[in-house]
Amino acid sequence: MRVVVIGAGVIGLSSALCIHERYHSVLPSLDMRVYADRFTPLTNTDVAAGLCQPYLLDPKNPQEADWNQKTFDYLLSHVHSPNAANMGLALVSGYNLFHEPIPDPCWKNTVLGFRTLTPRDLDVFPDYSYGWFNTSLIVEGRRYLQWLTERLTERGVKFFQKKVESFEEVARGGVDIIINCTGVWAGSLQPDPLLQPGRGQIIKVDAPWMKHFIITHEPEKGIYKSPYIIPGIQTVTLGGIFQLGNWSEVNNTRDHNTIWEGCCRLVPTLKDAKIVAELTGLRPVRSQIRLEREQLRFASSNTEVIHNYGHGGYGLTIHWGCALEVANLFGKILEERKLLSTPPPHL
Amino acid sequence: RPMDPVRIAVVGAGVVGLSTALCVSELVPRCSVTVISDKFTPETTSDVAAGMLIPHVYPDTPIPTLKRWFRETFDHLFAIANSAEAEDAGVHLVSGWQIFRSVPPEEVPFWADVVLGFRKMTEAELKKFPQHVLGHAFTTLKCESPAYLPWLEKRLKASGVLILTRCIGDLWELHPSFDIVVNCSGLGSRQLARDSEMFPMRGQLLAIQAPWLKHFIRDGSGLTYVYPGVSNVILGGTRQKGDWDVSPDADISRDIFSRCCALEPSLHRAHNVREKVGLRPFRPAGVRLQMELLAQDGRRLPVVHNYGHGSGGISVHWGTALEAARLVNECVQAPRTPTPKSNL
């Protein structure tokens, strides 16, 4: 059973791991490979600040709320294990700030200790009049991808640096199932008018006194267009750029200034923080995640494709719930092809 | 002739000495202030402390007064934390948990409404601490003396306060060069104030690298704690009564590490461990904040004492500094008995 995962960001590697963990013992013939033209530290996952927080509004697809919850619970169960630092995991608390009251989000009971801000909390942020405080998790993209790569390598999964030009080329290589985790570039394998880049730029600084995340919101402007500050394990990420349709992967001076001024206004002492890096990434924006099966026919055989792309700015937040669903779909394929003696575990 | 400026000596350059000198220089009109100490940052007792704003109770201080001292300190540091000087001054906000293995006698401590967002931990949050039955979550401040004390010194110098390195064996050495002495000598008051009640409450702690920790954890009475700071995480601690030994004890370090790992297992991966020891200036009755008029052989020397802060120095330093400055001011305003001055 030859399986190829296309894409080595968090979606590709976690899908690969979830499938392998669940099926390799019942499918001895499982031969899994990862094909990608970019590996860590060059993926979009590497640019992400890594805060586990879904968008404010309920997702269009209600399953996504469930996948967010499953991811949080999964990561939370690991944050107290000895693996936590290796996985790039840490608990972090912080603030979401608004100019006026808004309803509590659907994930208020997923995160820990959710509460609205008191007037004294708001004294810290004179430009804002309402907000939330809660404890969540960060999962640092680069560290997590390294950890996933180590786990997959231990399991004998092989990695190949190649740019896949078509599903057909992979299918004709004798592959039975393709997991399509190509993120923002999925359109080059199969046109998808719903998929667009949501360009983001971030500045990483040395600011180890920052122990809280601070995310400001201007709901009319849209998500991530307002300054945010997210501490990581070694550095702090400053951001606030979201440009729909912009494919440029180059840092932009005007965006740098927008981020810097916005974040220094929020936390004045940041003006002295040393800049360590500046990065641009392309969020794979879609009205909802494409997570579904498709059968493609090349020559005389059917190739199963499981699509898993379009996670916007919440890929790390939702990745494990999606990986579990991909594994479920994988199990259905095995069932249909009568490759399992017993029905596959469905989690 | 016009009134000469009042010459005030502040003995001690820890957090209490420096903040008191600053408050005096700002409150008392027409004064010249000199800070005199044998030790300065980073060699003071304050420099060892983690600097978490969580106050301790002093038996002789009424709760309303203690609360006022804490609130004044919190408000003072809160303003710094939110300003552009926060990094220079080593002051920042930090959130975390105080957890209990059995239900504590008081449900809500007196300082709950001074810190931010104080509430009981939820069941989900308590899962992190399976041996604990109850907890409080809140946001407070951390004030790190290795940065804060130099920052205070800068402000003192800008205000024209002089700073002198000298070892004082007796407060009378300051007479007649100074008109008023403010005694912030902490443990040194055992000798300088002849206060036999003063003794060290030895504290050993570990400074480690664990940058993934963003929350403080404090167990019950505060004997065991994990306090993430700007450039390290402080693990503690001990309370050893009357122990003057400033060299670290390896068995104690192992014990501290083990107690903290029980609360935060990820600490097993921590690296770069450094041991530190501080002698808290402990006084059974608590802070001595009062004026004493020393008299000897016809000489008089007003002394304002501000010492004995024990475990709570940083938590209440600004409140006690303000009160000490008020006492100095009262002393200055009181009609002066003319005494022969032998200065130039």
Q: Is the bond preceding B64 in cis, omega lying within 30 degrees of 0?
A: no
In this prediction the pTM is 0.94
List the single best residue of A97, A135, A206, A237 to mutate versus B (max B Cβ within 10 A): A135
**Averaged over A142-165, what is the pLDDT?**
97
**Averaged over B29-43, what is the pLDDT?**
97
Number of residues assigned to chain A? 347
Contact (Cβ atoms closer than 8 angstroms) between residue B43 and residue B14: no
Model confidence band, residue A342 (pLDDT cutoffs 50, 70, 90): low
Residue B341 has pLDDT above 50, yes or no: no
* 3-class DSSP assignment, residue A69: helix
Nearest to B117 among A121, A233, A273 (CB): A121
Residue of A nearest to B83 (CA): A268
- Residue A208 in contact with partner chain B when CB distance is under 8 A: yes
CA dist., res. B291 & res. B181, Å (int): 10
Contact (Cβ atoms closer than 8 angstroms) between residue B38 and residue B167: yes
DSSP per residue, A119-145: HHHHTT-TT-SEEEEEEEEEE-HHHHH
The pLDDT of residue B97: 98
CA dist., res. A107 & res. A38, Å (int): 32
Interface of B with A in 274-303 (CB under 8 A): none
Residue B50 has pLDDT above 70, yes or no: yes
The pLDDT of residue A219: 80
Interface of B with A in 112-141 (CB under 8 A): 116-117, 119, 121-122, 124-125, 128, 137, 139
Residue of A nearest to B213 (CA): A90
For A261, phi then psi, to 5°, come to -65, -45
Q: Which residues of B touch A273 (CB under 8 A)?
A: 87
Quote the mean pLDDT of chain A.
95
The four Cα atoms B6, B71, B289, B182 give a dihedral, to 10 degrees, of -30
Structure tokens at B223: 């004997």
* 3-class DSSP assignment, residue B125: helix
Contact (Cβ atoms closer than 8 angstroms) between residue A40 and residue A8: yes
- Residue A115 in contact with partner chain B when CB distance is under 8 A: yes
The pLDDT of residue A221: 84
* 3-class DSSP assignment, residue A266: helix
**Under an 8 A CB cutoff, do A121 and B82 touch?**
no
**Under an 8 A CB cutoff, do A80 and B265 touch?**
yes
The per-residue pLDDT for range B159-200, each reduced to its tens digit, is 999 999 999 999 999 999 999 999 999 999 999 999 999 999
CA dist., res. A56 & res. A132, Å (int): 12
Identify the DSSP state of B187. G
**Averaged over B294-309, what is the pLDDT?**
96
Contact (Cβ atoms closer than 8 angstroms) between residue B310 and residue B56: yes
Name residue A277's beta-bridge partners. Answer: A204
The pLDDT of residue A334: 94
Model confidence band, residue B338 (pLDDT cutoffs 50, 70, 90): low
**Averaged over B288-308, what is the pLDDT?**
96
The per-residue pLDDT for range A42-97, each reduced to its tens digit, is 999 999 999 999 998 899 999 999 999 999 999 999 998 888 989 999 999 999 99
**Averaged over A110-118, what is the pLDDT?**
97
Contact (Cβ atoms closer than 8 angstroms) between residue B83 and residue B91: no
**Averaged over A100-115, what is the pLDDT?**
96
Own/partner pairs, A266-269, CB within 8 angstroms, 24+ separation: A266/A125, A266/A127, A266/A214, A266/A216, A266/A227, A266/A229, A267/A210, A267/A214, A267/A229, A268/B82, A268/B83, A268/B84, A268/B86, A269/A209, A269/B83, A269/B84, A269/B85, A269/B86, A269/B87, A269/B88
Contact (Cβ atoms closer than 8 angstroms) between residue B218 and residue B63: no
The pLDDT of residue B343: 45
Residue B342 has pLDDT above 50, yes or no: no
List the single best residue of A86, A112, A117, A211 to mutate versus B (max B Cβ within 10 A): A211
**Under an 8 A CB cutoff, do A115 and B119 touch?**
yes
Structure tokens at B272: 């770069």
Give the range among B100-109, B291-300, B327-336 with minimum mean pLDDT.
Answer: B327-336
A&B contacts, CB < 8 Å = 93
Closest CA relative to residue A122, chosen from A266, A262, A11? A266
In chain B the domains, ranked by start, together with CATH numbers, are 6-94+142-198+283-333 (3.40.50.720)
Residue A307 has pLDDT above 50, yes or no: yes
For B175, phi then psi, to 5°, come to -95, 140
Residue B339 has pLDDT above 70, yes or no: no
Cα-based angle B117, B119, B125 (whole degrees, multiple of 5): 110
**Under an 8 A CB cutoff, do B95 and A273 touch?**
no
**Under an 8 A CB cutoff, do B214 and A80 touch?**
no
Residue B270 has pLDDT above 50, yes or no: yes
Number of residues assigned to chain B? 344
Name residue B218's beta-bridge partners. Answer: B98, B225
The per-residue pLDDT for range B228-237, each reduced to its tens digit, is 999 999 999 9
* 3-class DSSP assignment, residue B70: helix
Percentage of chain A beyond pLDDT 70 is 98
- Residue B209 in contact with partner chain A when CB distance is under 8 A: no
CA dist., res. A112 & res. B122, Å (int): 8
CA dist., res. B19 & res. B312, Å (int): 15
Ligand-binding annotation for A228, yes or no, is yes
* 3-class DSSP assignment, residue A59: coil
The per-residue pLDDT for range A210-244, each reduced to its tens digit, is 999 999 999 888 888 999 999 999 999 999 999 99
**Averaged over A313-319, what is the pLDDT?**
97
Q: Which residues of B touch A234 (CB under 8 A)?
A: 211
In chain A the domains, ranked by start, together with CATH numbers, are 2-337 (3.40.50.720)
Ligand-binding annotation for A121, yes or no, is no
Torsional class of A119: left (φ above 0), alpha (ψ -120 to 50), beta (otherwise)? alpha
**Averaged over B1-25, what is the pLDDT?**
92
Model confidence band, residue B344 (pLDDT cutoffs 50, 70, 90): very low
The per-residue pLDDT for range B112-156, each reduced to its tens digit, is 999 999 999 999 999 999 999 999 999 999 999 999 999 999 999
CA dist., res. A257 & res. A67, Å (int): 35
The complex's ipTM?
A: 0.92
CA dist., res. B140 & res. A94, Å (int): 13
Residue A122 has pLDDT above 80, yes or no: yes
Model confidence band, residue A344 (pLDDT cutoffs 50, 70, 90): low
The pLDDT of residue A185: 97
Closest CA relative to residue A157, chosen from A168, A167, A145, A148? A148
Model confidence band, residue B1 (pLDDT cutoffs 50, 70, 90): very low
CA dist., res. A3 & res. A178, Å (int): 6
**Tokens 């200055």 belong to residue:** B332
Output b/e per residue, A19-46; b: 16+ Cβ within 10 A: bbebbeeebeebebbbbbbbbbeebbbb
Contact (Cβ atoms closer than 8 angstroms) between residue B183 and residue B307: yes
Residue of A nearest to B144 (CA): A209
The per-residue pLDDT for range B305-324, each reduced to its tens digit, is 999 999 999 999 999 999 99
Model confidence band, residue B2 (pLDDT cutoffs 50, 70, 90): low
The pLDDT of residue A220: 83
